[in-house]
A = this chain, B = another copy of it.
Amino acid sequence: MLEAAQVPYVDVGQLPEAEGGGIAGIRSFLGSPEVRGAGIYAPPILTGDGLIIAQTPNICLFLAPRLGLVPPGEEAFYQAHQLNLTILDVVNEVHNTHHPLGVTLYYHEQQAESQRAAATFLRDRLPRFLRYFEGLLTHSGDWLLGDTFSYVDLSLFQLMRGLDYAFPHALNVLKPEIPLIQKVCKRVGDRPAIAAYLASDRCIPFNSHGVFRHYPELDPAPPTQTQKLMGY
């Protein structure tokens, strides 16, 4: 959101430790009285305008009107938040595909369960969520909230980027059903501020530590035409 609005910010986690950043910087910030007073449980944390705010959907909610990333008025404020929470529900379900038994166990301790969880998610849940967003776009216009670009489009864009990274096979099967979602993502990615961000080293590439992970065993290739004919 800050990149889309071209507002300067500091990503403390990306700063060198010598400059007060990195894991040491975040730990020290988390231990400070002001953060304890603000009742923070965990990052991400935004500080600005005299407030200290945690929880991703809360941070988006706080930033959106300030950055002009939500249409004015109460109805749009709550509708955008509702859509954002649903997108974040999908993100949580994605996380669950590689940590179904718990975040405190390693992936290799729950790999067999992850395969069942991922198969269930890709079969039963993801198509339903994507059809829902596609359906919204058939009514709304160029963007999720109608004619106005908003932070919810950014969330959808990031979700689709992550899904493309984590589950390329599964997403390829679904893509013919979601042309409007793909158009929104194209429009978001073509915005100069977003394109510049994605090409910069401020944009952390997807990896095996984040929410979206690519484990080939969780995204098996669909059977080929020949395999199908042979009854696989």
Please list the residues of chain A having a beta carbon within 8 angstroms of any beta carbon in chain B.
Answer: 36-41, 51, 53-55, 57-58, 61-62, 74-75, 78-79, 81-83, 85-86, 92, 96, 100-105, 110, 113, 116-117, 120-121, 124-125, 132, 136, 139-140, 144
Chain B residues with Cβ below 8 Å from A61 are: 61, 78, 81
- Total copies of this chain within the assembly: 2
Chain B residues with Cβ below 8 Å from A96 are: 96, 100, 102
Chain B residues with Cβ below 8 Å from A36 are: 139
Distance between Cα atoms of A102 and B96 in the complex (Å): 9
Distance between Cα atoms of A140 and B116 in the complex (Å): 43
Distance between Cα atoms of A144 and B38 in the complex (Å): 11
Distance between Cα atoms of A104 and B55 in the complex (Å): 27
23 contacts between A and B (CB under 8 A): A36-B139, A37-B139, A39-B82, A39-B144, A40-B82, A53-B78, A55-B81, A55-B85, A57-B85, A58-B78, A58-B81, A58-B82, A58-B85, A61-B78, A92-B92, A96-B96, A96-B100, A100-B117, A101-B117, A101-B120, A102-B116, A102-B120, A110-B116
Residue on B with the closest CB to A33? Answer: B139
